[in-house]
Structure 1
Amino acid sequence: MRFDIAQLFTFFTAASLWSTSVQAGPTSTSGTKFTINGETDNVASSGLRILRVWGFNDVTSIPGSDKVWFQHLSANGSTINTGENGLKILDHLVNGAEERGIKLIIPFVNYWGDFGGMRAYLSAFGGSQYRKYVNAVVQRYRDSDAIFAWELANEPRCPGCDVDVIYQWAAATSKYVKSLDPGQMVTLGDEGFGVDGGSSYPYQKVEGTDFAKFLTIETLDFGTIHLYPSHWSESYEWGNEWVTAHAKACVKAGKPCLLEEYGAVGENCARQAPWQKTSRETKGMGGDTFWQWGETLSIGKPHDDEFTIYYGDNDWDCLVKDHVAAIQGKA
């Protein structure tokens, strides 16, 4: 099964679950695979269609055999780990998604330093090593029905740069990905900074991004938006304005928008449910992906970054069950 752009306009909801592909098992990779199985079972039973999971786990020094890593970046020569604690973990996730009818959005690199980051490539032959890794991942999974879209990076920025820096990189890189997997969708993964609609920080181009300009890139199939008002000195009510501003740009470009990450600190339901409603009801929006899915374990709630929505909690009922029901016309 392949998704096309027309299908994106049928609104969907999804989740980001970064830890699934990068966590380490307690003594071996079996623990990681067990966790993946449980999480993907719960995702599928929740009615979520898509997961956004990290396709990267870069290190600058090779860890112990009980740690999961996908690529070692070094100025002396980088190594892609295809072993049991490497891309075979991602294999397990992709295979599990296929079995459960889940689709995946897979970013190739993080702008931030977590699990590598763009800066780590600067000492590892930069773009050539990045493309080498992109080639390895795309070639490995391009025939999988689980792939929804390839994402060039998570939250790429170039503070103080002319927007053409990221524009040219995104145009060339998305064209390269399309050459490897012509039938698959590609997106940039930016936060949506630099869009018409206001004068405050998020609307400006100080991070080197121009949302509308990036949408003109032929080999990018849809736009991405992130929404964290508490990080940007904006009100939670402002989030609805942020969504509609991008939806207008997407309508003009003839491409759908994905509210790819969003989160609030405290009062999750009261603050985020209105964003979901705005996304569902606004022309130009194709879906949303909340940040982030979490599972309560015997040791407690891991990966709690204040934004995590834990499976089975009250916030999960509101932001997942009720949202899915509304999309399906059952609410």
Structure 2
Amino acid sequence: MSIKEWEGSPLRSPVIHSLILNSLHSNYQIFAFKMKYAFTATTLAATLGLAIAIAVEPRQSSSYVKTSGQRFTLDGQKFTVAGSNAYWIPQLSNNADITKAFNDLKNAQVGFTTLRTWGFNDVTGPSGTYYQIWNGKTATLNTGADGLGKFDTVVAQAKAAGIRLIVPLTNNWQDYGGMDVYVKQLLGSDKHDLFYTDSTVKNAFKKYISGFVGRYKNEPTIMAWELANEPRCKGSTGTTTGTCTTKTITQWATEMSAYIKSIAPNQLVAMGDEGFYNQPSAPTYPYQGSEGIDFDANLKISSIDFGTFHSYPEHWGQSSNVVGWGAQWIKDHATSQKAANKPVILEEFGVTSAYNPSSTYTNWWDTIISSGLTGDLIWQAGSTLSSGNTHDDGFTVYPGEAEYTLQTKYAAALKARA
């Protein structure tokens, strides 16, 4: 998602070196809260404090996660998607902090299996970790230590912790570059939706996909690639051509998902969208199709393996009924899941402290369990690293907080569900 949408505007504040990865492959073959690896059980918190760079033994299957009807499977058995987002992990300058973050998630000891983290950062000048740098109309993939070499580290640490990664490949919002960089650099335009229709832009994105996905196409730690984080007709500025519709994005998704499948047929592909419906007469905006997303149509795309949706009713005009609206949102996507016979996950959700997160999340997690929805990833759990706590965007949950304890409880319940 966008780091967070306050009334429609994203608030996003915000493997090892190739050689290291090759050596790791010899030992264990195989990726965001918003990845928050603050999932350490409280009983282990003190121990983890002593083990910032402690090695974690590989315990991950070398098989790929697959789908079977409405389930994910691994080695023929049910695979539960339960975990968090942590978009910030690849941006950590200290590799020991990356290890700590994954240890936090692993040591929750309640079955956290999955992390979602960014597979994009487009820049026009070198800064921190970045994956693609633009010089005029020319984009160059950064394969160095501050580029894909850093993502090598993320993948290696995820593998060692037994965590699977879901990786979006660009952003609807301007944080970390995203779609608008392509449109501006290649076309000199501010029309966000040209990203979906202009052939020059689409070819440039395919080139990026080829380089990034191609590097990890044989890595089972990558459970899934997502076309984008929260694709919409409008981006951060709201400027469009005025011609973008749900069909525009569905056609783009069909083309790009098939392209990813042609490169990495063993890895899953999803939209990474917010799950908006296309029901123009519906009473609330997330159902009306005005953002260019038709969840049911996109879920029918043959090269889309599973559905994704997000839930931020507080910022989608539903503040008068956050709990009830959010629960119905989950039920409706579970209904779509059954109709398409594909897995569907709530891969981002959150409310601020004004809406009693503990009580709200309890209701939503109960609804996830009872509705049969395939899985969920919270936005977002936090960690305490060498520089202190990870960024709190108003939704972050840290160890010891009530929501943290609830998240671990419901992850275990989801895993135990038949």
Say yes or no: TM over 0.5: yes
Look up the SS of the partner of 1:123 in the other structure. Answer: helix
User: Match for 2:125: what amino acid?
Assistant: S
Aligned residue number for residue 170 of structure 2: 109
Contact 1:195–1:245 (CA<8 Å) still a contact in 2?
A: no
Which shows bigger deviation, 139-148 or 156-165?
Answer: 156-165
**Number of aligned positions between the proteins:** 318
Report the CA distance between 1:62 and its aligned residue.
Answer: 2.1
Aligned residue number for residue 341 of structure 2: 254
Give the structure-2-normalised TM-score: 0.73
Contact 2:226–2:269 (CA<8 Å) still a contact in 1?
A: yes
Report the CA distance between 1:299 and its aligned residue.
Answer: 5.2
1:1-331 to structure 2, matched below 5 A, reads 1-6=63-68, 7-8=71-72, 10=78, 11-23=80-92, 25=93, 31=94, 33-46=95-108, 47-63=111-127, 67-125=128-186, 126-159=201-234, 161-195=244-278, 198-234=282-318, 235-237=321-323, 238-266=325-353, 267-283=356-372, 285-297=373-385, 300-319=388-407, 321-329=408-416
User: Match for 2:82: what amino acid?
Assistant: T
Contact 1:15–1:52 (CA<8 Å) still a contact in 2?
A: yes
Could you give the per-residue CA deviations for residues 115-168 of structure 1, whole angstroms, max 9, x where no partner exists?
A: 001111113342222111111111111111201111000000014621111011
Look up the SS of the partner of 1:79 in the other structure. Answer: strand
- Separation (CA, whole Å) in 1 of partners of 2:262 and 2:412: 38
Report the CA distance between 1:253 and its aligned residue.
Answer: 1.2
Could you give the per-residue CA deviations for residues 263-312 of structure 1, whole angstroms, max 9, x where no partner exists?
A: 010122111121112112213x2100100121134654331101111234
Q: Identity across aligned pairs (percent)?
A: 37
User: Match for 1:136: what amino acid?
Assistant: G
- Separation (CA, whole Å) in 2 of partners of 1:300 and 1:95: 24
User: Structure 2: any 5+ residue segments left out of the alignment?
Assistant: 1-62, 187-200, 235-241
User: Match for 2:103: what amino acid?
Assistant: D
- Separation (CA, whole Å) in 1 of partners of 2:175 and 2:386: 26
- Separation (CA, whole Å) in 1 of partners of 2:100 and 2:399: 11
Report the CA distance between 1:72 and its aligned residue.
Answer: 1.0
Could you give the per-residue CA deviations for residues 250-269 of structure 1, whole angstroms, max 9, x where no partner exists?
A: 21111111101000101221
Instruction: Give the structure, 1 or 2, with the largest relative contact order (CA under 8 Å, sep 6 or more).
Output: 2
- Separation (CA, whole Å) in 2 of partners of 1:185 and 1:227: 22
Give the structure-1-normalised TM-score: 0.91
RMSD across aligned positions (CA): 1.8
Report the CA distance between 1:327 and its aligned residue.
Answer: 2.4
Q: Which runs of 4+ in 1 moved over 6 A?
A: none
- Separation (CA, whole Å) in 2 of partners of 1:12 and 1:128: 32
- Separation (CA, whole Å) in 1 of partners of 2:252 and 2:386: 44
Contact 2:131–2:148 (CA<8 Å) still a contact in 1?
A: yes
Q: Cα–Cα, structure 1 residues 299 and 83, in superposed 2: closer, same or farther, change >3 Å?
A: closer
- Separation (CA, whole Å) in 2 of partners of 1:293 and 1:57: 22
- Separation (CA, whole Å) in 2 of partners of 1:290 and 1:71: 28
Contact 1:41–1:100 (CA<8 Å) still a contact in 2?
A: yes
User: Match for 1:19: what amino acid?
Assistant: W
- Separation (CA, whole Å) in 2 of partners of 1:309 and 1:110: 23
Look up the SS of the partner of 2:322 in the other structure. Answer: coil
Look up the SS of the partner of 1:97 in the other structure. Answer: helix
The structure that has the greater radius of gyration is 2
Look up the SS of the partner of 2:112 in the other structure. Answer: coil
- Separation (CA, whole Å) in 2 of partners of 1:181 and 1:134: 10
Contact 1:75–1:123 (CA<8 Å) still a contact in 2?
A: no
User: Match for 1:193: what amino acid?
Assistant: F
Look up the SS of the partner of 1:130 in the other structure. Answer: helix
Q: Cα–Cα, structure 1 residues 280 and 195, in superposed 2: closer, same or farther, change >3 Å?
A: farther
- Separation (CA, whole Å) in 2 of partners of 1:51 and 1:193: 23
User: Match for 2:403: what amino acid?
Assistant: D
- Separation (CA, whole Å) in 2 of partners of 1:299 and 1:4: 38
Aligned residue number for residue 28 of structure 1: none
Contact 1:8–1:287 (CA<8 Å) still a contact in 2?
A: no
User: Structure 1: any 5+ residue segments left out of the alignment?
Assistant: 26-30
Which shows bigger deviation, 128-137 or 291-300?
Answer: 291-300
Look up the SS of the partner of 2:88 in the other structure. Answer: helix
